[in-house]
Amino acid sequence: MSEDAALHLPTALRPAPMGEARGRLAESGGAPAWQANPASSAYAALDLGTNNCRLLLGTPNGSSSFRVIDSFSRIVRLGEGLGATGRLSDQAMDRALTALQACAQKLARRPVRALQAVATEACRRATNGPEFLARVEAETGLRLRIISAREEAELAMESCAPLLEAGDRRALLFDIGGGSTEIAWIRILPGRQVPELIGTISVPVGVVTLSERCGPSCFTEAGFHAVVEEVAARLRGFDSVHCIGQEIRAGGVRLMGTSGTVTTLAGVAMALPRYRRLLVDGQVLEACDADQALGDLFALGRDGLAAHPCVGPDRVDFVLPGCAVYAAIRQVWPVPRLTVADRGLREGILLRLMRLDRAAQRRPPRIWPGCG
C-alpha cells in the first residue's frame, strides 16, 4: 500500500508503524513485527475465534471477489473453560499461540500488501484477553485487534453480499460461532455493493459454550429441545423489535447461514461422500431438506457422527449444539429456504481491505498548503 493510500484507511486497517513496533518488540526481545509489502497484490485476514484460528490470503478478482492463494485453519479451543472461569486457560493460550506462530511463518514466506488480524468472542469475554494478545504480539509480531460483535456481523455481511439475488428485499444472516451466535438483519439497497445493517444481536451461546455446559444432553431429545427453547427465547425479543416475522410473511427475505453447522447440514443434505467447499458455498437448501439433514445427524449418535465424512472426531461434540441453535433460528424465523455460505469473517475482511484500498487509490492526492 502506498503511503498516500494508507492515509485514507481507518486506523484499524493500517499496518502498525514499523519503527514504533520494531522498537517496542526489540525492547521486549520479541519477534519482529509484521510489515506490509506495497509491491504485493495479496491481502491477508487472520481470525482468532473461540474454537478456531484461521488465516486466508487472496488477490483481487474483480470488484467483489478474490482468488485464494493460501489458507490455514486449526482447531485451538481458545474458549475452553472460559464459561466457568472467565479467563483463557494456559493450555488454551499455548495452543492458540502455536497456531498463530504458524500463521506468522506463512506471512513471512508470502509477503502481503495489507493484513488485518482480529480476535472475537473468547478474547472479548476473557478478563485476560488483552494480556494474551500482548503476548501474541511479543512472540509472533502479529497485532490482533478485538472486534465488537457488531463489526463481526458487518464483516460476515460483506462476505455474503455476493450471494444475494434480485428480488431480495431483506436478509437474515446468522453465524453460529464457538462462543456466540451473531444475527444480522439486513436491508438490500439497489445499486449499492454493500447492504445496510439494520440491526444485530450477539447471543452468548455457541458450539463450544453449549458443548461444555450441556453437550451430552444434546444427544437426547429432551436435552436438545431444551437448548432450542433457550436460544429461541433469546431471539424473540430481537424479532419483535424489527418485526422480522412480519417481513418474512411479506416475502423477499433471504435466510443465510455461515458456520460449520450449516455447511455440515448442506453436506449431509447433498449426500456428499466428503465435504467439498465448491459444491456447498452458495447452495440454496429447501428448509425441509435442511431439517431432514438435522434429523439424520441426530439419529447417528456420537459414534456415527465421528465416522461421518462431513463431521469427523474433531467436531463430534459441536455438531448437535450447533444444530440446536439452527433449529431455534428456524423456529423463530420459518423462512422456506436456506442459503449456505462457506465464507464469513475472513472473507469479509479481505473484501473490505481490497475495497478500501481501491477507494484510496482513486482519491486525488492531497494538496498541502503552500505546495501549489
DSSP letter string, 190-206: TT-SS-EEEEEEEES--
Closest CA to 114 of 16, 32, 4, 31: 16
Q: What is the pLDDT of residue 257?
A: 96
The string of pLDDT tens digits covering residues 101-118 is 999 999 999 989 999 999
Mean pLDDT score, 320-340: 96
Residue pair 58/130 in contact by the 8 Å Cβ criterion = no
**Domain residue limits at 196:** 150-346
Residues 133 and 204 in one domain: no
Residue 157 above 60 pLDDT? yes
User: Is the whole-model pTM more than 0.85?
Assistant: no
Mean pLDDT over 338-348 rounds to 94
- The CATH number linked to 50 is 3.30.420.40
Q: Which helix (H) or strand (E) holds 240?
A: helix 221-242
In terms of domains, do 161 and 35 share one? no
The C-alpha cell at 193 is: 455493493
Task: Note whether 209 and 83 are within 8 A (CB).
Answer: yes
Which of 93, 120, 147 terminates a domain? The answer is: 147
- Residue-wise pLDDT for 278-316, tens only, equals 999 999 999 999 999 999 999 999 999 999 999 989 899
- The CB-side HSE value for 307 (13 A sphere, CA atoms) comes to 5
As a whole number of angstroms, the distance between CA 175 and CA 261 comes to 9
Q: Are residues 79 and 196 in the same domain?
A: no
Same domain membership, residue 138 and residue 206: no
Domain count, the chain: 2
DSSP 115-175: EEEEE-HHHHH-TTHHHHHHHHHHHH----EEPPHHHHHHHHHHHHGGG--TT--EEEEEE
Residue 27 has pLDDT above 50, yes or no: no
Same domain (yes/no): 154, 30? no
Q: Are residues 139 and 15 in the same domain?
A: yes
Does residue 241 lie within any of the structural domains?
A: yes
- In this structure, are 104 and 190 located in the same domain? no
Of the candidates 118, 147, 176, which is a domain's last residue?
147
Last residue of a domain, one of 113, 147, 181: 147
DSSP annotation of 249 reads H
Banded model confidence at residue 25, pLDDT cuts 50, 70, 90: very low
| pLDDT of res. 102 | 96
Cell of residue 66, nine digits = 478474490
Cell of 278: 465448491
Question: Same domain for 259 and 141?
Answer: no
